[in-house]
Amino acid sequence: MPKMTFIERDGTRREVEVAAGYSLLEIAHKFGIDIEGACEGSLACSTCHVIVDPEWYPKLRKPTEDEEDMLDLAYALTKTSRLGCQIVLTDELDGLVVKLPPGTRSVLGL
């Protein structure tokens, strides 16, 4: 099973191990990581925004235009920002590291 690391807002590193095929949003919820996901992964908000470690960013599939549109609304956007609902953990991503941004912005009003 692949492992990945979430770096929480306070800098705490949380390494988790989970079967491939789950989105980062699903993994975060499973392990109690503080990622909101207000739209429940339907690509209608940016509250599952994560900052991918620059070493790992080129290994991900390119974001879709819809994801890029939602990222434009994300708080503390960076060059390696992605939506956690759009990254699916695979065996090839074993070791992936993502950081949570300092906050989120929900356009859903939730």
Q: Please give the average per-residue pLDDT across 97-102, as a whole number.
A: 97
DSSP conformational letter for 58 = G
Q: Is the pLDDT score of 56 beyond 90?
A: yes
User: Lowest mean pLDDT: which of 16-25, 27-36, 58-67, 98-107?
Assistant: 98-107
- pLDDT tens-digit readout, 66-81: 999 999 999 999 999 9
Tell which residue, 4, 90, 96, has the closest CA to residue 52: 96
Are 22 and 96 in contact by the 8 Å Cβ rule? The answer is: no
Residue 3: its pLDDT value, please? 98
This prediction has a pTM of: 0.92
Residue 43, token pair as written in the block: 């690509």
Measured CA to CA, the distance from residue 18 to residue 31 in angstroms comes to 10
- Residue 58: φ, ψ to 5°: -65, -15
